[in-house]
Structure 1
Amino acid sequence: MINEVKSVLAAFFGVQKEVNRKRDFEHGHALDFLVVGLVMAALLVGGMALLSTVVAG
């Protein structure tokens, strides 16, 4: 699961090594990446909403 998190973080920033990308496509499962990506996106949106609430309030 750690490799999926690392790969999704790299995708969020737009940087990833070719070796890791190949590994993900050869050995990874799409559902794992989808779940990790959705959770991380939800955390990002929630964190930004919380930050804006704290700054505005």
Structure 2
Amino acid sequence: MHQLLSAFQSVIAAFFGVQSEGKRESDFKQHSPLSIIIIAIMLFFIFIAAIFAVVSWVLST
């Protein structure tokens, strides 16, 4: 569970561009690239769905 939370935190930091180079290197040593890619894709789709929901809500009012 701690590994999943750590990978999730790493992907969030990368999305916002606030991750240090040292932390990025250690993340790729600790986590498999596949898990980071899967988490990133899921967060991307959640982000797109949130934007779509907000735009739909604004346009409907």
Do residues 30 (structure 1) and 33 (structure 2) align? Answer: yes
RMSD across aligned C-alpha pairs, in angstroms?
A: 1.0
Structure 1: state its 5+ residue gaps. Answer: none
State the percentage of identical aligned residues. 26
Work out the CA distance in 1 between the residues paired with 2:16 and 2:35: 19
The size of the alignment, in residue pairs, is 57
| Residue number in structure 2 paired with 1:17 | 20
How many angstroms apart in 2 are the aligned matches of 1:35 and 1:25? 14
Q: Which amino acid aligns with 1:8?
A: V
Unpaired stretches in structure 2, ≥5 consecutive residues: none
Matching residue of 1:43 = 46
TM-score by length of structure 1 reads 0.90
Shift of 1:18: 3.6
Q: Give the structure-2-normalised TM-score.
A: 0.85
Report deviation, 1:22: 2.3
